[in-house]
Amino acid sequence: MLILGIQRGGPAANAGLQGVSQTDEGLVLGDIIISIDGEKVANNNDMLRALDKHKMGDTAKVEVVRRGRRTIVPVQLTALPPATRRRGYGE
């Protein structure tokens, strides 16, 4: 699952996950999530199902492909900053 964007100050940003970005040469792909805690992630529903097994403060092991290399990024699950919250997200 390709990460399109990251909420500034949110758990993904704090962990260093990367979304799609624009450079002078064009678009640069963001991280591609492969699994969370060993559970395969192919879409948003898979991601939410994996994250539902955690509570605030837990750390999830997110496996991503970044620039062709697999890496595991520990993400501490926290609420989104108030300015970025939308109804149903980060609350």
Report percent pLDDT > 90 for the chain: 79
Report the range of poorest mean pLDDT among 6-10, 25-29, 77-81.
Answer: 77-81
Q: Is residue 32 part of a domain?
A: yes
Q: Is residue 30 part of a domain?
A: yes
- pLDDT at position 83, please? 60
Average pLDDT, the chain: 89
Identify the CATH number of the domain in which residue 16 sits. 2.30.42.10
Q: Is residue 16 part of a domain?
A: yes
Q: Please write the tens of the pLDDT for every residue from 50-85.
A: 999 999 999 999 999 999 999 999 999 998 767 654
Q: Is residue 42 part of a domain?
A: yes
Q: Is residue 38 part of a domain?
A: yes
Q: Is residue 89 part of a domain?
A: no
Q: Which domain holds residue 29?
A: 11-79
**Residue 22 phi, psi (nearest 5):** -110, 130
Query: Residue 67, by phi and psi: left (phi above 0), alpha (psi -120 to 50) or beta?
Result: left
Our count of domains for the chain comes to: 1
